[in-house]
Amino acid sequence: MNENVAFKSARLAALAGPCRFDNAEALAPFLTAIKTRHGASVLGVIFYGSCLRSGDIREGLVDFYVVVDDYRRAHDSRLSAAANRLVPPNVYYLEAADAAPNTGADKPSRLRCKYAVISEAELAYGCRDALTSGLWGRLAQPVAIVHARDTVIHERLRMHCGQAVVTLLEESLPVLHAPLAPAEVFARCLALSYGGELRAETDERTTRITAQYSAEYARRARDAIDLLDLAVHIDDRGLMRWQASAARRRQARRLWSARRPIGRLLSVARLSKACFTFGDAVDYGADKLARHTGVTIEVTPRLRRHPLIYGWPVLWRLYRQGVLK
């Protein structure tokens, strides 16, 4: 690695922050089970999402990206490896005994997680070059690297997460109007990213997320400025201003227009695949929908047994009603 590449890699890692979780030892049952399932292929585990933001891993479902070196080594079957390679990532459900259950409980409580298996090569591509925003939109937010094979892998994962910040800003700023406060820049960028997928979350939820960690999002926006291929600066009032050519703005608008249908198609493909890899996928989806939107759906035994047959009318109705966007 030459000196310039090493310097940029260090800058990107710093942009991602320390990537720590203060209660990482509580995740040990998950990490042990994941490494047992996927063996020596596991390079690292990235913790993200609502449980990381709240700090409470006992409420809701913990979200991980499990980064592997090779899909075939990571899976027992060639079919699973091929599915992961064709439409990454594969998503799995896992329960583990709570290492520190509530005292007085009749039986040990269970921790729950879902995790996505992705190769480091796909992670790097997804944070830097992917058209859709699924990876760079998520990993531009604060995450925790709760397992890494060694310190070199740990720093590489931080670098990929820092690259996600750069990609999110470079893809989003040309379609936004300056000036904006740095934290508001991130709120607008994340709203664009969420809009590129089939999701139940609203723009208001994005605003709440960024408001909760406004200082960290502002730091990310400021620290990324000289890594961007745009002319960006902070004015005397602390607001971010940027310039993009008319051609760059037109290209950015076209890309965001394309992301919306493509992202939704990929979301549907991944939902279909999750019916085979994710235990209780229908119940999980119904619970998440109710928590984020207040809309409840009836999970019938028929829907639970055959989601690929009876789930489509439900999804279409929710989409037509504007619940899924």
- Chain segment 139-179, per-residue pLDDT in tens: 999 999 999 999 999 999 999 999 999 999 999 999 999 99
Taking residue 168's Cβ as centre, other Cβ atoms within 10 Å add up to: 27
- pLDDT at res. 310: 47
Buried b (16+ CB within 10 A) or exposed e, 217-245: bbebbebbbebbeeebeeeeeeebebebe
pLDDT for residue 221: 95
* Single-letter amino acid, residue 324: L
The beta strands (E) that lie in the chain are given as: 42-48, 62-68, 90-97, 110-119, 144-148, 231-234, 240-243
pLDDT at residue 238, as a whole number: 95
Specify the pLDDT at position 196. Answer: 75
How large is the angle between the packed helices 151-172 and 182-195, nearest 10 degrees? Answer: 90
- DSSP H/E element including 195: helix 182-195
In sequence order, what are the residues at sequence separation of 6 or more whose Cβ sits closer than 8 angstroms to the Cβ of residue 190? 137, 140, 141, 168, 206, 209, 210
Distance CA 130, CA 133 (A): 7
Spatial separation of the C-alpha atoms in residues 133 and 135, rounded to whole Å: 6
Burial of 291 by CB count in 10 Å (0-12 exposed, 13-18 middle, 19+ buried)? Answer: exposed
DSSP annotation of 234: E
The full set of domain ranges for the chain reads 3-249, 280-325
Q: Pick out the chain residues at pLDDT < 50.
A: 103-105, 107, 289, 292, 306, 309-310, 323
Q: What angle do CA 319, 116, 273 make, to 5 degrees?
A: 50
33's CB contacts (< 8 A; 6+ apart) are 94, 96
CA 159 to CA 181: how far, in whole Å?
25
| Residue 103, pLDDT score | 46
Q: Cβ distance 28 to 99 under 8 Å? A: yes
Residue 89, preceding peptide bond in cis (omega within 30° of 0):
yes
For residues 306-320, one letter each, b for 16 or more C-beta atoms within 10 angstroms of the residue's C-beta and e for the rest, the string is ebeeebeebbeebee
CATH topology of domain 3-249: Beta Polymerase; domain 2 (3.30.460)
CB atoms under 10 Å from CB of 132, counted, come to 21
Element (H, E) at 29: helix 28-38
